[in-house]
Amino acid sequence: MLRFISGRLLKAVVILICITVLNFFLIHAAPGDPAAVMAGEAGDADPAFLQQLRERFGLDKPLYVQLWIYVSSVVQLDLGYSYRQQLPVLQLIGERLPATLLLSLSAFVISLGLGVAAGAFASARQGKWADTIISLVALIFYATPLFWLALMGVLLFSVQLGWLPGFGYETVGANYTGLARALDIFLHLILPAMTLGLFFMAVYARMTRASMLEVGRLDFVKTAKAKGLRPGIIQRRHVLRNALLPVVTLAGLQAGQLVGGAVLIETVFAWPGIGRLMFDALSQRDYNLLLGVFVVSAAMVLLFNLITDVLYRLVDPRIKVAS
């Protein structure tokens, strides 16, 4: 296992460097000049001032020199300096990352828990009204655009009913501490986490249902039925346990996507995470900040994939034997 993890970590480092280089070229190929943006904000478009800004931030050097400097800094865990925020990129991401992780992990737990439970319930009642309703609801949540679902949630639960706060991470100016602050953050978390989780819940529900129906036709399940085991025990110990293998694979892939793909949800709900930070950096042509968010997001995806590989070997011993 130690050799397996070491090999995966080495591959992850190589992949991360390749992603960093690719993102560097893609961002610099996009239109827009960060020096011109900063000069426009300062109210001075003088060519000498533009040249001074480019020299200050190293934008006057050839592209390959900028690439070498940036990759060397990333290897040393230095993501550079934000032109717009006038702060180190690592500090800015470190301030926003906990909010993104809280949102992503909450949505992941909601989607996986509800999805597996709904899929298992539907497969045990194949062809009945419960199966039809669950499949229909899952299809609706999967087909509904996330931004529309988020806005409808705000209008219903925040504006009309007043049950939940609609925007932000916590109540501004309340100065809560301790348990009161934790409860306030929890109330602000419900709407964005549920909105993000419901989409992936639909995927897990359909995947679990299909996988359990497939496993239920195998010979070892028929043998368990022939032994006289109760249907509930067969579903839990034999069918669900083996049907979860593809769900674990999908969950591992989507866990990383949740971290880097919450831009829309964070924007709608004004959630102060790295997704919204990336959107602001893109609009301001803040290259270093944008690249830093990409690097951290890619690292999180690779980390979740590594965790998935380890869990997969623990869940299915056949993989360990085959390797």
Residue 220 makes CB contacts below 8 A (sequence gap 6+) with 238
Distance of alpha carbon 32 from the chain centroid = 28
Q: How confident is the model at residue 322 (pLDDT cuts 50, 70, 90)?
A: very low
CB neighbour burial string for 163-202, b if at least 16 within 10 angstroms, e if fewer: ebbbeebbeeeeeeeeeeeeebbeebbbbbbbbbbbbbbb
Say what the pLDDT of residue 49 is: 63
Tokens of 243: 């049907």
Whether 261 shows a pLDDT value over 80: the answer reads no
CA distance 214 to 235: 12
More confident residue, 242 or 134: 134
Q: Looking at residues 281-302, what average pLDDT do you find?
A: 82
At 161-194, the pLDDT tens digits run: 888 887 888 887 777 878 888 888 888 888 888 8
CB 35 within 8 A of CB 57: yes
Whether 119 shows a pLDDT value over 50: the answer reads yes
CA distance 285 to 213: 50
SS3 content of the chain, % helix, strand, coil (to 5): 80, 0, 20
Cα angle 96, 113, 190; round to 5: 45
Say what the pLDDT of residue 53 is: 64
CA separation (Å) from 51 to 69, 172, 222, 240?
20, 41, 76, 64
Write down all domains in the chain, each with its CATH number in brackets: 2-75 (no CATH), 98-322 (1.10.3720.10)
Q: For all residues of the chain together, what is the average pLDDT?
A: 79
Q: How confident is the model at residue 40 (pLDDT cuts 50, 70, 90)?
A: low
Residue 133 makes CB contacts below 8 A (sequence gap 6+) with none
DSSP state of 164: S
At 2-18, the pLDDT tens digits run: 787 788 888 888 888 88
Lowest mean pLDDT among 43-47, 96-100, 135-139, 302-306: 43-47
Lowest mean pLDDT among 117-131, 133-147, 222-236, 247-261: 247-261
CA atoms within 13 A on the CB side of 297: 26
CB 304 within 8 A of CB 252: yes
